[in-house]
Structure 1
Amino acid sequence: MARPAPAQPGTADVQIRLDERQFRAGGFELGRVEPETGPSEILLPGQVVVPPTQLRVIAAPAAGLIESLFVAPDERVRAGQAVARLRSTELVEAQRLFLEAATAAELAQEKLRRDEELFRERVIAERRLIVTRAEATGAAAALDERTQLLNLLGLTDPEVAELRRSRRIQQGLTVTSPVAGVVLGRAATPGERVAQAAPLMTIGDLSTLWVNIQVPLSRAPALEANARVLVPAQGAEGFVLRIGRTADAATQSVTAVAEMHRGADALRPGQAVTVALQLRANGMPQYRVPAGSVVRHRERSWVFIRTPTGFTARPVTVLNETAQFTSIRGGLAPTDQIATRGLLALLAELSEADGG
């Protein structure tokens, strides 16, 4: 077979020259290119997921024993609803230290008021007043620190104020949900001892869902952001939010993320679905060719068009594939004949032409 000619300037075609004798010896077979007038979309597999910004993990505010869990998986919760009850010795110790800090702050303020009065009467020196003011400021800062710690342990400002007024220490606390949503899973059980910040459950807002779509590399160029997406079986509709820039090494596919803004109630997180994606409208005609007549080389799809001097290797965009046919877009004509057999030899010539 003759050495292939390099691509012409401004094109990606590669010319592969061979005469009739070489054509017959190569055992090549040809197939027709058929125009397609069907809808410009492809069907691909996907999985329903919850957007990361709509997930909230509820963690144990303090180390302790889980007395009760008030909600079950898949149960809807309101913002502020009680979801768990926790008994904690850590919380008891934090309340004791808070009350000590509150007492110290009150004494420091009383001492400051007394020294200010004595200073006005010129009974004490100004230096003593300055020291007393510094002590009062330090005591107030220590009290604020203990207050913030109680807030981190799950006590609200009204509960902290009541603790300071009544000086009654509580042994447990009620954990509430900060958002409205659905319980997607529980990571703890009643009677279990947990550390501080250990996850208890996950709450998800399911008003809007995403679908992660696995797109083969050969079809990724035919997609674009904001393209329409349908989940026909569930009647959900949305649009392409973004198309991944990295490929999975095992599957050689990229992930396109679609946001479903209509009909999301019919979808479930984790559900496997088939989605229909609208293709990029680039004005190029669409054709159907026999299955197996499209080859992959250097992350592109190619067909070999019969010419009087041999074949022309031309890059195309794969739209859809079945067991019998492949739908493509590219610079073809309805009268073109393409190679359907002998592709390995032609692919070797193509690799040699571009040094691959």
Structure 2
Amino acid sequence: MKRQKFQHLVLAVGLAGALFASAAVAADEIAIPLRDQDVQAAGIETKPVEKSSGSDELVAPGVVAVPPQQLRMVAAPAAGLVETILVSPDEEVKEGDPIATLKSSELIEAQRAFLQAAADAALATEKLRRDEQLYKERIIAERRLLVTRAEAAQARSLLDERGQLLALDGMSEQAIETLRKERKLGAALTVRAPVSGVILARHATVGDRVMAAAPLVTIARLKPIWVNLQIPTGRAAALDRTDKVVLPSHGVDGKLIRIGRTVDPATQSVTAVAEFSPGKSPIRPGQAVQAILRIKGTGGTLWRVPADAVVHYRDKDWVFLRSADGFRAVPVTLVSETPQSASIQGPLSAADQVATRGMLTLLAELAAKDPSAK
């Protein structure tokens, strides 16, 4: 008997909770009584709501950008005069291709210092060989041999240092070896591409006198490529459920790899980054594109309505549902939208008709009937 009473009590509490939730929903709705002739005079039209699938779309504008880790700035290895620029913007280059030629007095000085170090190293090596022979014949003391060995090691280190400086100045190992053998100084320096890619920009022109480390060109690797998407703040909550990102005009699919944590104060939008591997249709840095984000469902019922059916009023999204005595303004959650349709969640049913035209009249009636606005 006690158990039955307990079950009845639990059932009563559950029914009370359901009635309370229903009353809360009803309290959020606002009735807008309108006669049929008033509806026709205002040009209000309705369309039926449709039950949406488990996923939806969000259309967002974006700009194509090169991932920063795929940008390479090629700088002048030494100060000098730019004699020629051998590449132009948008030109594809491979690693090792010549980019520019310089005339550099600093290069001549570096070559002279290298040859001096090479001569000193050869002299120290010969002196060490002679002292080792003299030490074997017990003509010199061991201390002198140790000093000679230290001098030879120091000379070799200085030669290595001068060789590395020439490499930093842009000379290849083969050119350095040729310099060592032929001992012929040259002021001409060829700057080569350190990586394969596309010339994104030129920063110097023929005849410029540049300092060491001055930028000459920027090389970019364009696979993969990024698109920086501008997402309205109110739609940013749906980004975590993005399944894939599509560029319909290029026929490529990508994925969302980053969602911004800050909001642009001018546009009130969040920047989301999508990554693509371009196919036959090129995607160029700086190009404005339109992307479609495929968004997975939230688990609740999604309803698809025309995009014009959703209005924003007092920090909420609303739709106007046809009723026997006019319309009901119902607050909803906007999950995603395209220029043609919107996916929403709210207390709707398959039999509902939603207003799609004459929205100014309904908004005015909503503002007049809204108790929170008084």
Task: Using the TM superposition, give the Cα deviation of residue 329 of structure 1 relative to its aligned residue in structure 2, in angstroms.
Answer: 2.9
Q: Which residue of 2 aligns with 1:196?
A: 212
Kindly indicate whether residue 199 of structure 2 is the aligned counterpart of residue 183 of structure 1.
yes
Kindly indicate whether residue 311 of structure 2 is the aligned counterpart of residue 293 of structure 1.
yes
Kindly indicate whether the alpha-carbon contact (under 8 Å) linking 2:93 and 2:197 is maintained by their aligned counterparts in 1.
Answer: yes
Kindly indicate whether residue 49 of structure 2 is the aligned counterpart of residue 34 of structure 1.
yes
Kindly indicate whether residue 344 of structure 2 is the aligned counterpart of residue 329 of structure 1.
yes
Kindly indicate whether the alpha-carbon contact (under 8 Å) linking 1:222 and 1:317 is maintained by their aligned counterparts in 2.
Answer: no
Question: Are residues 262 and 202 of structure 1, via their aligned partners in 2, closer, same or farther at CA, if it must alter by over 3 Å?
Answer: closer
> Which amino acid in the other structure matches residue 250 of structure 2?
Q
Question: Are residues 168 and 296 of structure 1, via their aligned partners in 2, closer, same or farther at CA, if it must alter by over 3 Å?
Answer: farther
Q: Which residue of 1 aligns with 2:289?
A: 273
> Which amino acid in the other structure matches residue 90 of structure 1?
E
Task: Using the TM superposition, give the Cα deviation of residue 341 of structure 1 relative to its aligned residue in structure 2, in angstroms.
Answer: 4.3
1:195-244, Cα deviation, whole Å (9 max, x unpaired): 11111111222232211111111112222376222211222322222222
Aligned length: 329
Q: Which has the higher helix share?
A: 2
Q: Which residue of 2 aligns with 1:112?
A: 128
Kindly indicate whether the alpha-carbon contact (under 8 Å) linking 1:77 and 1:177 is maintained by their aligned counterparts in 2.
Answer: yes
Kindly indicate whether the alpha-carbon contact (under 8 Å) linking 1:16 and 1:349 is maintained by their aligned counterparts in 2.
Answer: no
Kindly indicate whether the alpha-carbon contact (under 8 Å) linking 1:318 and 1:328 is maintained by their aligned counterparts in 2.
Answer: yes
1:108-142, Cα deviation, whole Å (9 max, x unpaired): 11111111121222212222111111111111111
Q: Which residue of 2 aligns with 1:155?
A: 171
Q: Gaps spanning 5+ residues in structure 1: where?
A: 1-8, 25-29, 351-356
The alignment's TM-score, normalised by the length of structure 1, stands at 0.79
State how 1:282-321 maps to structure 2 within 5 Å. 282-283=298-299, 284-288=301-305, 293-295=311-313, 297=315, 302-303=317-318, 316-320=333-337
CA distance in 2, matches of 1:166, 1:239: 56
Kindly indicate whether the alpha-carbon contact (under 8 Å) linking 1:67 and 1:190 is maintained by their aligned counterparts in 2.
Answer: yes
Kindly indicate whether the alpha-carbon contact (under 8 Å) linking 1:76 and 1:181 is maintained by their aligned counterparts in 2.
Answer: yes
Task: Using the TM superposition, give the Cα deviation of residue 145 of structure 1 relative to its aligned residue in structure 2, in angstroms.
Answer: 0.8
Task: Using the TM superposition, give the Cα deviation of residue 327 of structure 1 relative to its aligned residue in structure 2, in angstroms.
Answer: 1.9
Question: Are residues 247 and 131 of structure 1, via their aligned partners in 2, closer, same or farther at CA, if it must alter by over 3 Å?
Answer: same
State how 1:5-16 maps to structure 2 within 5 Å. none
Question: Are residues 305 and 126 of structure 1, via their aligned partners in 2, closer, same or farther at CA, if it must alter by over 3 Å?
Answer: farther
Q: Secondary structure at the match of 2:222?
A: coil
Task: Using the TM superposition, give the Cα deviation of residue 168 of structure 1 relative to its aligned residue in structure 2, in angstroms.
Answer: 0.5
1:232 to 224, 230, 248: 248
Q: Which residue of 1 aligns with 2:273?
A: 257
Kindly indicate whether the alpha-carbon contact (under 8 Å) linking 2:30 and 2:369 is maintained by their aligned counterparts in 1.
Answer: no
Kindly indicate whether the alpha-carbon contact (under 8 Å) linking 2:56 and 2:343 is maintained by their aligned counterparts in 1.
Answer: no
CA distance in 1, matches of 2:241, 2:151: 62
Q: Secondary structure at the match of 1:224?
A: helix
Task: Using the TM superposition, give the Cα deviation of residue 282 of structure 1 relative to its aligned residue in structure 2, in angstroms.
Answer: 2.2
What RMSD over aligned residues (CA atoms) do the two structures have, in Å? 3.7
Task: Using the TM superposition, give the Cα deviation of residue 56 of structure 1 relative to its aligned residue in structure 2, in angstroms.
Answer: 1.7
Kindly indicate whether residue 68 of structure 2 is the aligned counterpart of residue 46 of structure 1.
no
After the TM superposition, which of the residue ranges 203-212 and 90-99 deviates more from structure 2?
A: 203-212
Question: Are residues 149 and 101 of structure 1, via their aligned partners in 2, closer, same or farther at CA, if it must alter by over 3 Å?
Answer: same
1:94 to 110, 115, 138: 110
Task: Using the TM superposition, give the Cα deviation of residue 82 of structure 1 relative to its aligned residue in structure 2, in angstroms.
Answer: 1.0
Q: Secondary structure at the match of 2:292?
A: strand
Q: Which of structures 1 and 2 has the bigger CA Rg?
A: 2
CA distance in 1, matches of 2:108, 2:314: 67
1:242-268, Cα deviation, whole Å (9 max, x unpaired): 222222222121112111224264221
Kindly indicate whether the alpha-carbon contact (under 8 Å) linking 1:68 and 1:85 is maintained by their aligned counterparts in 2.
Answer: yes
